[in-house]
Each structure stands twice: as C-alpha cells, then as structure tokens.
Amino acid sequence: MKDLVALLESLGSTNVKTYIQSGNAVVLSPYSNRKEFSKNLANAIFETRGFRPLIHLMTTKEFEAAAALNPFPQAADDPKSLHLSFLSDTPKPEGLKTLQALKSPTEHFEILGKVLYLHAPDGIGRSKLAAGVEKSLGVSATGRNWRTVENLLALI
C-alpha cells in the first residue's frame, strides 16, 4: 500500500489514505476528469508493477450515497453478510433474470443505479449470485463488504 500511496501522490493526489491491503484509497485528486485520472493511475501501476488493473473511481458523494441507499439496513449488524458491488456501468436489464436464477433462497439483492446490494446471510464464498455478477450483468464490478464500506466512510 505504500507503493500505491506513492503512485497516487506522484499523480498529484493529496491527503492519501488507504484501507488495509485492499487496494482501496481515499484521496483528494487534482483531476477534474475521472477517466484521465483512472488511465494515468493504471499506466503508472503498469509501469511499476507490470499489470494494468481495473480501477474504479467514485466521488465522495457517490460513495456516501451508495452507503445511505442500502436497502438492507438490518444486515448491517452482520457486516460480512452484506456486500456492495460497485458497477462500471448501468447493467443490462436482462441480466436481472439471470441473477434471480442464481440466487439462493436465503439471498436478497437489489440494484440501485450502479450499485448491486447483496445480502448473503449464509456467506458469500459459495454464492453463485456473487460469482455471476459481472457475467450476468455485462459490466465490470468490484465488491466490498459492509465493514469495508463503513471503514472507507470513516476515512472519507
């Protein structure tokens, strides 16, 4: 994470804070164009590490709104059972039928904008729904459990 902080700072970011070894960072960015920032960060990681990761950037308002819109507030008491998948784009509606078919009887999900909320009380490790999000919806996704969301909100 020290290397990530250094890369972010080399791109002009300030007040860089990271959360554990997760690749999550909260920064003040000098970029007004999110795509440019994402591209420059991916290039910097490629130059230093030899791979080009998918980078998902959100504004503070977007992240706070995603947390506030949680349709399963009761699940917050068991933060490992509640997951938010941040989607790269608005998902295709036909993908909802596929996800519904993958859902176990105990799972519940809802998509609000570009966030998929999944309450998986039996765990996410064996969830066919969780494993099938990207393929079913036709978009890239990055998931975080509720505990991580709360910790990132604290960093913000």
Q: Quick one: average pLDDT of 43-51?
A: 95
Q: What is the pLDDT of residue 63?
A: 97
Q: Quick one: average pLDDT of 84-102?
A: 93
Q: Quick one: average pLDDT of 43-48?
A: 95
pLDDT tens digits, one per residue of 19-42? 988 889 999 999 999 999 999 999
Mean pLDDT of the chain: 95
- Domain map (residue ranges) of the chain: 2-49, 60-155
pLDDT tens digits, one per residue of 1-18? 899 999 999 999 999 999
* Fold of domain 60-155: Alpha-Beta Plaits (3.30.70)
Q: Is 75:81 a contact under the CB 8 Å cutoff?
A: yes
pTM of the model: 0.92
